């Protein structure tokens, strides 16, 4: 979980908009921070922030006449388990993150695999559900998750697995994850503050732990 928090804070240092810009986080600070409720330290939890984010969605024909570089929506997916609301977290459904069906659906609709994605923005109001959702989306097996996120593999534009490049909910701002959809678009346009080279597929995953789960995949023109 610390690797998720450290990646978000590291990437936020490149983003002047981020509320944690100029306030980097070390692994020692992460582990020394107070417990909120075990296993969550202070830095495993997002802040509350005021702000706004928006998208303009239109047809490809109209988009070509707009000033900004158009970014196509290649596929979307939304799914929930057999229950919704508080009951969804009880019984046999927990600890599912509502992302397994989302992952299968979006890869099928887009005709790509998780390994084809160049950069991922994943909602993280808490760090723990991110680990579970990454596995459910098909990026790795559950037993592989520690190695998958560890050793700085998520940090910076040249990361092995570019992740939450604006700083995410933890370190950019908690605008309920919508600002991360904007960052997914920026990555395709090439104007992120933590720009990953040669982005053709950019994924935003909404709300691990909430039903329904959702995801949107953006691509280059």
Each of the 221 residues of the chain gets a pLDDT tens digit; together they read 999 999 999 999 999 999 999 999 999 999 999 999 999 999 999 999 999 999 999 999 999 899 889 999 999 998 775 555 555 555 555 566 678 889 999 999 999 999 999 999 999 999 999 999 999 999 999 999 999 999 999 999 999 999 999 999 999 999 999 999 999 999 999 999 999 999 999 999 998 766 678 999 999 97
With a pLDDT cut of 90, the percent of the chain lying above it is 83
Over residues 115-143, the pLDDT tens digits come to 999 999 999 999 999 999 999 999 999 99
Let me know if 12 is exposed, middle or buried by CB neighbors in 10 A (0-12, 13-18, 19+): buried
Map residue 17 onto helix, strand or coil.
coil
Say what the alpha-carbon torsion angle 176, 178, 180, 185 is, to the nearest 10 degrees: 180
Tokens at 57, concatenated? 């969605």
- How many distinct structural domains can be found in the chain? 1
Tell me, yes or no, if 9 is annotated catalytic: no
| Residue of 9, 30, 123, 210 with catalytic role | 123
How far is residue 122 CA from its own chain's centroid? 1
Domain around 195: 2-219
- The C-alpha atoms of residue 160 and residue 168 are separated, in whole angstroms, by 18
Nearest to 173 by CA among 218, 212, 123: 123
Residue 74: per-residue pLDDT: 97
The CATH number given to whatever domain includes residue 200 is 3.40.47.10
Nearest to 121 by CA among 177, 45, 195: 177
């Amino acid at each position: 979980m610390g690797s998720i928090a450290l990646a978000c804070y590291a990437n936020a240092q490149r983003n002047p908009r981020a509320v944690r810009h100029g306030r980097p986080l070390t692994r020692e600070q992460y582990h020394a921070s107070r417990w909120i409720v075990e296993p969550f330290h202070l830095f495993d939890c997002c802040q509350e922030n005021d702000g706004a984010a928006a998208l303009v969605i239109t047809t490809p024909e109209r988009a070509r006449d707009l000033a900004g570089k158009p970014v196509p929506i290649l596929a979307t997916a939304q799914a929930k388990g057999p229950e919704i609301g508080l009951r969804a977290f009880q019984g046999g459904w927990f600890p599912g993150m509502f992302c397994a069906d989302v992952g299968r659906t979006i890869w099928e609709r887009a005709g790509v695999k998780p390994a084809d994605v160049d950069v991922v923005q994943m909602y993280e109001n808490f760090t723990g559900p991110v680990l579970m959702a990454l596995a459910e989306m098909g990026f790795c097996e559950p037993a592989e998750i520690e190695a998958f996120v560890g050793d700085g593999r998520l940090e910076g534009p040249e990361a092995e697995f570019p992740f939450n490049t604006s700083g995410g909910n933890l370190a950019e701002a908690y605008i309920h994850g919508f600002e991360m959809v904007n960052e997914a678009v920026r990555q395709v346009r090439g104007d992120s503050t933590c720009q990953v080279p040669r982005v053709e597929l950019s994924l935003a995953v909404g709300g691990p732990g909430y039903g329904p789960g959702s995801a949107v995949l953006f691509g280059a023109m």
